C-alpha cells in the first residue's frame, strides 16, 4: 500500500515536471521538433528505467523475505508475501505503461502538429521499446518470485 502510494506520488511529480519541459519547448519562437522528440524519448526512457529498477528492487526484497519465511517453515506466509509482491509489480508496471502511453500520445500529437511525422514515428518506436522493457522486467521479476516455490 505504501509502495503504491509512493509510486503514484512519483508518477504525479514526473508528469508535472515533464509538462513544464514540454511547455518550455513549446514557448520558444519556433519549436524545434528534433528537440521535442529527444525530450520525449528521454522522458519515456526515464519512466521505463525507473520502473524496471523498482521492479528489480521489489523482487530482491521479496525473495529475501520469502527465503526467510521458507527457512522458518512458514510456507503459507511466504506465499502470501509472494502474492503481494506480484501484485505490486503488476500494478507498478501497468501504471508505468499507462504513463508511457500518455506521454507518447502527447508527444506524437505535438510532433504531428509540427508536421514532423518521421519524428513522430521515431518517438512511437521508442515508446514501444520502453513498454517492452517494462513488460519484460515484469515477467522476469514475477518469474523470479514464483520460482522460489519450484522445489515444493
Count of domains for the chain: 1
pLDDT digits over 118-140, tens only?
999 999 999 999 999 999 999 99
Please name which of 63, 136, 43, 48 lies closest in space to residue 95, comparing C-alpha atoms: 48
Alpha-carbon span 68 to 74, nearest angstrom: 9
- The domain that holds 27 is classified in CATH as 1.10.132
pLDDT digits over 85-119, tens only?
999 999 999 999 999 999 999 999 999 999 999 99
* Domain span holding position 118: 2-149
Q: Are 123 and 107 in contact (CB under 8 A)?
A: yes
Q: Is the model's pTM score more than 0.85?
A: no
Amino acid at each position: 500500500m505504501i509502495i503504491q502510494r509512493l509510486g503514484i506520488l512519483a508518477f504525479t511529480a514526473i508528469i508535472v515536471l515533464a509538462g513544464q519541459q514540454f511547455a518550455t519547448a513549446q514557448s520558444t519562437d519556433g519549436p524545434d521538433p528534433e528537440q521535442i522528440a529527444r525530450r520525449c524519448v528521454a522522458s519515456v526512457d526515464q519512466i521505463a528505467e525507473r520502473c524496471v529498477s523498482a521492479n528489480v528492487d521489489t523482487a530482491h526484497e521479496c525473495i529475501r523475505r520469502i527465503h526467510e519465511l521458507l527457512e522458518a517453515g512458514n510456507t503459507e506466509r511466504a506465499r502470501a508475501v509472494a502474492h503481494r509482491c506480484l501484485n505490486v509489480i503488476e500494478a507498478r508496471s501497468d501504471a508505468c505503461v499507462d504513463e508511457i502511453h500518455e506521454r507518447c500520445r502527447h508527444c506524437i500529437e505535438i510532433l504531428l502538429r509540427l508536421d514532423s511525422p518521421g519524428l513522430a514515428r521515431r518517438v512511437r518506436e521508442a515508446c514501444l521499446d520502453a513498454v517492452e522493457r517494462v513488460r519484460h522486467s515484469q515477467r522476469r521479476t514475477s518469474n523470479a518470485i514464483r520460482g522460489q516455490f519450484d522445489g515444493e
